[in-house]
Amino acid sequence: MIDFTWKIGGPAGFGIKTTGDMFSKVMMREGYHIFDYVEYPSLVRGGHNVTETRVSTREVFSQKKSVDVFIALNKESYDLHRKELSATSFVIYDKDQFEIKPEEVAVGVKLVAVPLRQITKDVGAEKVMENNVALGASLGLIKADLKPLFELIEEQFGRKGKEVVAENHKVAQAGYDYVREHFGDLEVAFRLVEKQEYVERCFVTGNDAVALGAIAAGCQMYIAYPMTPASSILHTLAAASSKVGMLVRHAEDEIAVINAACGAGYAGARTMIGTSGGGFSLMVEGLGLVALTETPLVIIDAQRPGPATGMPTWTGQGDLRFVLHAHQDDFPRIVLAPGDVEESYELGWKAFNYAEVYQLPVFILLDRYLSESHKSTEAVKAEGVTINRGKVVGRWEESQGQYLRYKKTDDGIAPRSFPGTPNALFTANSYEHDEYGYSTEDPQERIDQVARRNRKFEEFTKNELPEPLLYGAPDAELTLVGWGSTKGPVLQAMQAAEASFNYLHLNYLWPFPTAKVTEVLGKAKETLLVEGNHAAELGGLIRQETGINIENRYIKYDGRPFYPGEILERIRR
């Protein structure tokens, strides 16, 4: 089995992320499973960027701590990451640019000095292409085929002209040849000797997967204000908009975003908005309008550590309670938290059906880690996607009597009508309203409308809410409990030989799957809550809904994701 991590580090602004994406894609095209993870500060230039790709012959769910091939583009990168190297690691660097002293090298770590700059100069290429020398050198080290890299270079740089493509090919080839010639004898445990069976997969982040889920769902409008780590959804959809006929709009602020979306939903467009916690803070006012007018809306909150500006480019799971309770008074809402790119895609398209059938706001909670980590997957495909717009009045004849947008139906759901439809007038009203939509302060009408809106929530719970999955042996010694992106590192940890736990994964958080959680926790021999926030927000929610208090907690709020190794270590304690 092959399972190694390749990592590249260097100054911000030097195309680290692009280089990482290229390595990941090359490996994926070679038939390997990949998972990548990026770290960068909230700066455009200056500061330190790293990206790493885990390559494996079997599915990978998370990054790991130890690095097997490390490309250090400057000394700072080497110093910051040398502790991640082990006796079987290799460091590719340019000794013309900086020196690594023997005492700075751990036992067994092999230095692969490649004259990145000189090779680039010799070819007559630009400095930025040094990264491609390093890519070629990496492939030389693991003895991979260069062809997929050549193809990728052609796709990436083709529009810049044939010369640029040829130069990039040359530098990659030169890097490859240099390593084969000077380091061909090195023992590399994860040398790619056998060709993998090729399975066509997609290389997507959680953000990509949600965006693709929205496209598959026929989403007609996406409105956002840029905010890390949600911005790439805006970029991906803006790039795709002309191909799929979606209206993608960057509005002046998040207040305008949610209000324009509420207007669009009222007028009949399938609509989604996206932001991070700080942007959602501005949207909270509009959330109540969405809820009271019963306008379908999908809302993405890609979490990052807060409060206030917090740590913009790092990860955390601190918005669960926020999205559960945001806005004055209470009203039905649905909160989904996908655990990986597969769930991001699936819940991404399903969210639209939930929003339109039940006419309420549906949240998709991502976090920086899931939003920006790529995973190779076969799950993104049009097949299996269904579209259900719920009850809509296409025509209304006067003979049918007065159309009532907020009619007190048994299931709480009254058919929507869209402006322009003759005879089906109504008012969407931010005041409490009667069945037509006229403002009312009548106590009985108020009671009836609150009750009706909440009946929709009960219907959703009854008709749609799936049971959470318990991964691993049902009778394991220990049950881990987590939500959202915690899934990846936990499932990865579960593959370790020593692992003897199972994992209860919650991705539908509201309405809460009380029965199944109570059952699993009731049977569990021991439990451990694994959560990315200080307050154990899920722990509190579980206690609120089931009465069960999980005292054993692995809580992390340093802005970094969970690592499988750390989870195993915590379990051993």
Nearest to other proteins of 146, 248 (CB atom): 248
Q: Is 370 exposed, middle or buried (0-12, 13-18, 19+ CB in 10 A)?
A: buried
Q: Is 159 in the site for other proteins (CB under 8 A)?
A: no
For residues 553 and 557, give the distance between their C-alpha atoms in angstroms, rounded to a whole number.
13
Name the segment binding other proteins (CB under 8 A); options: 122-130, 329-337, 385-393, 520-528.
Answer: 385-393
For residues 496 and 179, give the distance between their C-alpha atoms in angstroms, rounded to a whole number.
33
Three-state DSSP at 469 gives strand
Name the segment binding other proteins (CB under 8 A); options: 36-44, 49-57, 311-319, 377-385.
Answer: 377-385
Q: Is 416 in the site for other proteins (CB under 8 A)?
A: no
| Strand intervals (E) in 118-211 | 202-204
Q: Pick one of 195, 243, 572, 573: the residue that binds other proteins (CB under 8 A).
A: 243
Least separation in angstroms between residue 438's CB and other proteins is 5
Least separation in angstroms between residue 434's CB and other proteins is 10
Name the segment binding other proteins (CB under 8 A); options: 30-38, 103-111, 119-127, 242-250.
Answer: 242-250
**Backbone φ and ψ of 504, nearest 5°:** -95, 110
For residues 239 and 119, give the distance between their C-alpha atoms in angstroms, rounded to a whole number.
35
Q: Is 264 in the site for other proteins (CB under 8 A)?
A: yes
Q: Pick one of 109, 244, 379, 469: the residue that binds other proteins (CB under 8 A).
A: 244
Q: Following DSSP, what letter does each residue of 348-360 receive, concatenated?
A: HHHHHHHHHHHTS
Least separation in angstroms between residue 430's CB and other proteins is 5
Q: Is 102 in the site for other proteins (CB under 8 A)?
A: no
**The residue to which tokens 């130069």 are assigned:** 167
Enumerate residues 285-344 that contact other proteins by CB under 8 A. Answer: 285-286, 288-289, 293
Enumerate residues 422-481 that contact other proteins by CB under 8 A. Answer: 422-431, 437-439
End-to-end Cα distance, the chain: 29
Least separation in angstroms between residue 4's CB and other proteins is 22
Q: Is 387 in the site for other proteins (CB under 8 A)?
A: yes
CB 487 within 8 A of CB 561: no
**The residue to which tokens 């890097």 are assigned:** 175
Name the segment binding other proteins (CB under 8 A); options: 40-48, 130-138, 412-420, 529-537.
Answer: 412-420
Nearest to other proteins of 307, 419 (CB atom): 419
Q: Is 198 in the site for other proteins (CB under 8 A)?
A: no
For other proteins (CB under 8 A), the number of binding residues is: 73
For residues 506 and 517, give the distance between their C-alpha atoms in angstroms, rounded to a whole number.
9
Compute CA distances 210 → 190, 230, 352, 508, whole Å. Answer: 33, 11, 11, 16
Nearest to other proteins of 395, 525 (CB atom): 395
Q: Is 37 in the site for other proteins (CB under 8 A)?
A: no
Q: Is 246 in the site for other proteins (CB under 8 A)?
A: yes
Enumerate residues 202-231 that contact other proteins by CB under 8 A. Answer: 202-204, 208, 212, 215-218, 220-221, 223
Name the segment binding other proteins (CB under 8 A); options: 137-145, 360-368, 416-424, 520-528.
Answer: 416-424
Least separation in angstroms between residue 261's CB and other proteins is 6
Three-state DSSP at 514 gives helix
| Strand intervals (E) in 97-195 | 110-113
**Backbone φ and ψ of 35, nearest 5°:** -140, 130
Q: Is 378 in the site for other proteins (CB under 8 A)?
A: no
What are the strands of the beta sheet with 271-275, ordered from one edge? 247-250, 221-224, 271-275, 297-303, 361-367, 334-336, 508-510
Cis ω for the linkage preceding 229 (within 30 of 0): yes
